[in-house]
């Protein structure tokens, strides 16, 4: 005889109330039982877990497909918006580059015509040798690196060492297959530079900090943060116009430069031979003594190139500051 539905509900009500009251204890007991079963029969638990995984995986795959499709559409929409913005920026940059290309061609034509008119001697060709930085010999008193390029690749003492963005230093010692590069931040480094905009000349002096100091500026010079610093070409060591860095701080009597070269990510250095021996001696060269009474530590340096005015004085100051330390 079939029982009425009300009777089943009456019987199920106490069971449901009991289950709700002791649900936490039942779950703890079930978890404890599963732990014991897993320790007692690991093979059975592993097979059961594998079977459940095989059963649930297709269901999860079907459920995840719409979510993955929606995520893919959203990602493609974001990429499309980014591509549109990048395309607009590239179009503007292309227009600027075309303008400067036109200006550069016009200036190049004018420069060629004026050079021919004035019969200017052409600049010597430049050769390069690239070496990997294999060791950092820096310490508390030295800022230099070793590269795996030496005389066999045409590297000579005094040549400029260029990083990706600007001047990193100069070659101080050369071997057959290696060379030591004295960085701009070394305390022995003295480089004649010029402020690109105002054309005031000075000496970039390293002091073993990440930001070398700009010294011997004229009194009327007022450098501002952000101004570019390039080599001046005085002293005959480096050609004019090599990028060095930007003015970081310009306090009274203390101008600091932030070099373009990134010392923390410097893996390769390009040694450039501008064929400008200048005031630096190369290996095996004999240096004539300066006229007059020699200064201490200067009898092994060649005679200063004939430079008049502020450039010659700056180069001579650089030699006086550098010679006693080397």
Please list the residues that pair with 268 across neighbouring strands.
Answer: 132
Which DSSP symbol is given to 307? -
Rounded to an integer, the average pLDDT of 239-251 is 92
Per the model's pLDDT, the better-predicted residue between 190 and 119 turns out to be 190
Percent of the chain with pLDDT over 70: 78
Higher per-residue pLDDT: 228 or 51:
228
Contact 91, 239 (CB under 8 A): no
Contact 268, 133 (CB under 8 A): yes
Residue 32: predicted pLDDT: 81
Q: Which residues contact 306 (CB under 8 A, 6 or more apart)?
A: 312
The per-residue pLDDT for range 38-54, each reduced to its tens digit, is: 777 677 777 877 888 88
Q: How confident is the model at residue 269 (pLDDT cuts 50, 70, 90)?
A: very high
Which pLDDT value is given to residue 259?
A: 94
Task: Give the global pTM.
Answer: 0.54
| pLDDT exceeds cutoff 60 at 325 | no
Between residues 232 and 10, which one has the greater pLDDT?
Answer: 232
Average pLDDT, the chain: 79
Report pLDDT for 71: 82
Q: Name, of 44-48, 276-280, 296-300, the range with top average pLDDT.
A: 44-48
> Helix 42-118 and helix 23-40: axis angle, to 10°?
90
pLDDT score at 291 = 41
Residues 307-324 have a mean pLDDT of: 46
Q: Provide the CA 96 distance to its chain's centre, in angstroms.
A: 26
pLDDT at 10: 66
**What would be the CATH architecture of the domain defined by 127-325?**
Beta Barrel (2.40)
Q: Where are the domains of the chain?
A: 33-119, 127-325
pLDDT, tens digit, 9 for 90 and up, residues 139-192: 666 789 999 999 999 999 989 999 977 899 999 999 999 999 999 999 999 999
Average pLDDT over residues 290-298: 40
Q: Which of 244, 249, 156 is nearest to 192 (CA)?
A: 244
Q: What is the pLDDT of residue 27?
A: 82
Higher local confidence (pLDDT), 125 or 222: 222
In this prediction, residue 260 carries a pLDDT of 92
Going by pLDDT thresholds of 50, 70 and 90, the confidence category of residue 93 is: very high
Predicted confidence (pLDDT) at residue 5 exceeds the cutoff of 60: no
Distance (Å, whole) CA 161 – CA 171: 7
What is the model's pLDDT at position 141? 67
pLDDT confidence of residue 40: 72
> pLDDT at residue 310 above 50?
no
3-state secondary structure of 318: helix
317 contacts: CB under 8 Å, gap ≥ 6: 203, 216
Taking each continuous run of H as one helix and of E as one strand, the counts in the chain are: 4, 12
The DSSP code sequence of 149-193 is: --GGGT--TT-EEE-SSSEEEEEEEE-SS-EEEEETTSTT-EEEE
Tokens describing residue 14:
């106490």
How far from 317 is each of 42, 191, 234, CA to CA, in Å?
Answer: 83, 10, 12
Q: What is the pLDDT of residue 249?
A: 92
Q: SS3 for 230?
A: strand
The residue-averaged pLDDT of 273-302 equals 48
Report the range of poorest mean pLDDT among 39-43, 88-92, 216-220, 300-304. 300-304
Q: What pLDDT was estimated at residue 179? A: 94
CA distance 246 to 77: 40
pLDDT of residue 256: 95
Does the pLDDT of residue 211 top 80, yes or no? yes
Measured in degrees and rounded to the nearest 5, phi and psi for residue 301 equal -100, 145
């Amino acid at each position: 005889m079939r029982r009425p539905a009300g009777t089943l509900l009456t019987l199920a009500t106490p069971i449901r109330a009991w289950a709700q009251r002791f649900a936490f204890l039942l779950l703890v007991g079930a978890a404890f039982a599963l732990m014991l079963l897993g320790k007692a029969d690991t093979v059975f638990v592993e097979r059961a877990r594998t079977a459940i995984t095989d059963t649930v995986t297709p269901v999860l795959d079907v459920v995840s497909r719409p979510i993955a499709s929606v995520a893919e559409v959203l990602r493609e929409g974001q990429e499309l918006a980014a591509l549109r913005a990048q395309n607009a920026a590239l179009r503007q940059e292309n227009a600027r580059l075309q303008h400067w290309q036109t200006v550069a061609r016009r200036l190049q034509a004018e420069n060629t015509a004026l050079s021919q008119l004035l019969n200017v001697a052409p600049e010597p060709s430049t050769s390069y040798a690239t070496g990997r930085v294999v060791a950092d010999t820096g310490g508390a008193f030295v800022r230099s690196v070793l590269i795996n390029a030496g005389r066999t690749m045409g590297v000579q003492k005094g040549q400029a060492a260029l990083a990706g963005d600007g001047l990193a230093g100069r070659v101080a010692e050369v071997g057959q297959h290696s060379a030591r590069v004295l960085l701009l931040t070394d305390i022995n480094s003295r480089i004649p530079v010029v402020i690109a905009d105002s054309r005031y000349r000075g000496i970039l002096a390293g002091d073993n900090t990440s930001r070398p100091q700009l010294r011997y500026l004229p009194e009327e010079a007022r450098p501002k943060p952000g101004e570019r610093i390039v080599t001046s070409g005085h002293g005959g060591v480096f050609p004019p116009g090599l990028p060095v860095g930007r003015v970081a701080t310009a306090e009274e009597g203390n101008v600091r430069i932030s070099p373009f070269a990134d010392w923390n990510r410097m893996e390769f250095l390009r040694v450039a031979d501008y064929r400008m021996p200048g005031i630096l001696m190369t290996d095996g060269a004999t240096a004539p003594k300066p006229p007059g009474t020699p200064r201490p530590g200067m009898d092994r340096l060649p005679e200063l190139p004939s430079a008049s005015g502020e450039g010659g004085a700056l180069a001579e100051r650089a030699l006086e500051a550098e010679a006693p330390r080397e």
